[in-house]
Amino acid sequence: MINLINVRKVFNAGKPNEFSAIRGINLKIIPRNVTVFMGPSGSGKTTLLSLIGCMARPTAGRIYLMEKELTSLPERFLTEVRRKTFGFIFQQFNLVKGISVLENVMLPAYPVGEPRTSLEQRALDLLDLLNIGEKAGTKIEWISGGQAQRVAVARALINNPAVIIADEPTAHLDTKLSLELVNILGRLKEDGKTVLIASHDPLVCRSEIVDHVIQCRDGKIDGQEL
Amino acid sequence: MIFHPAIIALYMSSLLMGLMILYAASYGVRIQRLWDITSGSDLQLILERRTYLISTILTYVFAFELISFFLYIYTADHLHTLFVGAMCAAGTLKVNGYGYPALILKMVNFMAAGLWLIMNYADNQGYDYPLIKKKYLLLLVVTPLVLAEVFLQTKYFLLLHPNIITSCCGTLFSATNKTLTGDIAALPPVPMEFAFYMILTANAAAGICFYLKNRGGYLLGGLSFAQFIISIMAILSFISPYFYELPTHHCPFCILQREYGYIGYPLYAALFGSAVSGMGVGMLMPFQNIKSLAETVPSFQKRLALVSVILTIAFMGIVTYQILFTDFILQS
């Protein structure tokens, strides 16, 4: 259970260009469900996911992961939580060019110190699961958009996180690839993962894998559908 | 004021330290008054983030405090040639009325700084700022002492003029002097040797016991403090005469000079280090049962106890080597 209590996020506080991205959100996220944050550009979806995923800190309010309070955690503890609990799929995928698909997938697990052979095997298993095993040795810049999407998913799963956070994952994909991604996310839900998606793509929001739709507008929750 | 590089370094850095500790103390006051970990208010979150900056500033301030103690003694020793009558740091510090009070405060602040750094390290191991209020309360106690040290040291340097006639260490630490140092220097050597070796052995044993069984932390802390006091008395009473091979010379500063292989520096570093680490073990005892520190504090205390034991043995080893391998014999 992820619990947000009166969370606010202000950028450039006290300056002329001060901007309130999140304005006092209270929210409970149900585990092992797919929750979609839906809303227009600038509604605070990405900021909210960054706060939940411990990539940014709120200006006020508290975020609880199970019983653990996250917002007061010193950075060295937050890194551990981020690594073990959350897997990220970014809008632009943010894969590292110049290295192979396999190395990209293994990258988030390097700080854990797992022996390379077992880590490599796990990464290969994930790539096989996502039907991209044959591209393991290929450099990132040589693969297609659809393949990059699956590499991004594999990378998000390498540390076996409980929560997958996907920010506009279908923004640069055609319908076929978008549906493929939705299917992958559905499989992750079946495996017991909590999936959080920020999207305004109807194909994602109206998908049958989605359990909970939260409508965001102007940094607030405008409505919820279960 | 004498424009010597070491004096300028100490003078400027102490002013900087004073400013930094004042800034940190102002946050210490805010933390004492406003800290509430259960609150998610803007202010609480700002305080939580600001503690990283304050903690980093203070780590540097107190780390320098540890170094400045030795730099101060080194400077005083180095400048003794400028003052008529001075033979070592003892004479230089006596040039005006601020040298010795500044030295005593530096010793006190060395201990306080060491203990604060230990508490800060322990606090940083917990995820919920478990020692935050205690840490900043200690800071508020230490701040006036550091500011007093800055004041005394500044006055000392400002009133330091060359060619002032001062006393030599032979006079200042003479056993015939009717002063506290004179009375300590006049203590009978054999009972002092007995007390010295008893306290060092007991402290080392307590340290080993804590390291192996995680028991006796308070005892180790108390013994470390007692060891420090008795060792300072022992240096004045019988240790320094063994180094000088002269029964009437009790100066605790001449051993810092080249003629004695600068042996005073490792000797004092071992003594002060042993005291701080041993007392640190005792100071952390009440925090062993805090949930977020239950795993980390005992292992940290074990490391401190080990450091304390090693430094105690090193201190004892330096003294014993000199006593055993010299032709000089000091008897009551």
Output phi, psi for B259, to 5 deg: -55, -25
Domain presence at residue A164: yes
CA-nearest residue to B124 within chain A is: A74
- Sequence-distant (6+) residues with CB within 8 A of B179 are none
B36 at A interface, C-beta within 8 A = no
Q: What residue numbers bound the domain in which A202 lies?
A: 31-57+84-225
Report the pLDDT value the prediction gives residue B131, as an integer from 0 to 100: 94
pTM to 2 decimal places: 0.84
Give the mean pLDDT of B313-326. 94
pLDDT in tens, A90-131: 888 899 999 999 999 999 999 989 999 999 999 999 999 888
Chain A nearest-CA distance from B41, in A, is 5
B40/A6 Cβ within 8 A? yes
B42 at A interface, C-beta within 8 A = yes
Chain B nearest-CA distance from A47, in A, is 17
Domain positions in chain B are 1-166, 173-332
Tokens linked to B106: 């530096």
Which of B40, B52, B129 is the closest to A71 by Cβ? Answer: B40
Domain presence at residue A19: no
Domain presence at residue A8: no
Read off the amino acid at residue B281. Answer: V
Chain B nearest-CA distance from A61, in A, is 4
What is the count of residue pairs from A and B with beta carbons less than 8 Å apart? Answer: 31
Strand partners, A139: A100
- Is beta strand A68-69 parallel, antiparallel or unpaired with respect to A60-65? antiparallel
pLDDT in tens, B7-40: 999 999 999 999 999 999 999 999 999 999 888 8
- CA-CA distances (angstroms) from residue B56 to B4, B59, B62, B117, B133? 30, 5, 10, 10, 17
- CATH number reported for the structural domain that contains residue A104 in this entry: 3.40.50.300
Count other Cβ atoms within 10 Å, centred on residue A57.
18
How many Å from the N-terminal Cα to the C-terminal Cα in chain A?
16
Give the mean pLDDT of B65-79. 91
Chain B nearest-CA distance from A67, in A, is 13
The answer to whether residues A18 and A10 touch, using CB atoms and an 8 Å cutoff, is: yes
Report whether pLDDT(A76) > 90: no
Domain presence at residue A146: yes
Chain B nearest-CA distance from A94, in A, is 28
B49/A74 Cβ within 8 A? no
Domain presence at residue A11: no
Mean pLDDT lowest for which of A193-197, A202-206, B148-152?
A: A202-206
Residues in chain A closer than 8 A to B45 (CB atoms):
57-60, 71-72
Which SS3 state, helix, strand or coil, does residue A165 take?
strand
CA-nearest residue to A62 within chain B is: B40
Q: What is the C-alpha separation between B120 and B118, in angstroms, rounded?
A: 5
Chain A nearest-CA distance from B38, in A, is 9
Domain presence at residue A15: no
pLDDT in tens, A128-172: 988 899 999 999 999 998 899 899 999 999 999 999 999 988 887
Q: What is the C-alpha separation between A116 and A57, in angstroms, rounded?
A: 33
A6/B127 Cβ within 8 A? no
Give the mean pLDDT of A75-79. 85
Which SS3 state, helix, strand or coil, does residue A58 take?
coil
B49/A57 Cβ within 8 A? yes
CA-nearest residue to A73 within chain B is: B127
Which of A59, A74, A75 is the closest to B45 by Cβ? Answer: A59
Report whether pLDDT(B332) > 60: no
Give the mean pLDDT of B87-94. 88
| Count of domains observed in chain A | 1
Looking at this predicted complex, what is its ipTM?
Answer: 0.72
Read off the amino acid at residue A68. Answer: K
Report the pLDDT value the prediction gives residue B90, as an integer from 0 to 100: 87
Residues in chain A closer than 8 A to B49 (CB atoms):
57
Domain presence at residue A195: yes
Give the mean pLDDT of B102-116. 95
A62/B40 Cβ within 8 A? yes
Q: What is the C-alpha separation between A154 and A132, in angstroms, rounded?
A: 10
Report whether pLDDT(B331) > 70: no
